[in-house]
Amino acid sequence: MSKNAAYLDNILSYQANRPFLYGSHNFYPQEDTRLSYSFFEACSTRFKKHEL
């Protein structure tokens, strides 16, 4: 989910069973490894658009 790639669109194009799809951001608790908030929102928007 945090790569902002078209993986979700590709998966949905195969009529995936949507109730079983989930998205999550990989959390790596190290200094200076966080996503910027704007990038986090951009990645999350794609999943929100599909109500996932």
Whole-number Cα distances in Å, 19 to 34, 43, 45: 29, 20, 18
Question: What pTM did the predictor assign?
Answer: 0.62
Could you report the per-residue pLDDT of 5-37, keeping only the tens digit for each? 688 888 899 998 988 988 888 777 788 877 888
Burial readout 7-36 (b: 16 or more C-beta within 10 A, e: otherwise): ebeeeeeeeeeeeeeeeeeeeeeeeeeebe
Long-range contacts of 38-43 (CB under 8 A, 24+ apart): 39/2, 39/4, 40/2, 42/4, 43/1, 43/2, 43/3, 43/4
Residue 4 has pLDDT above 70, yes or no: no
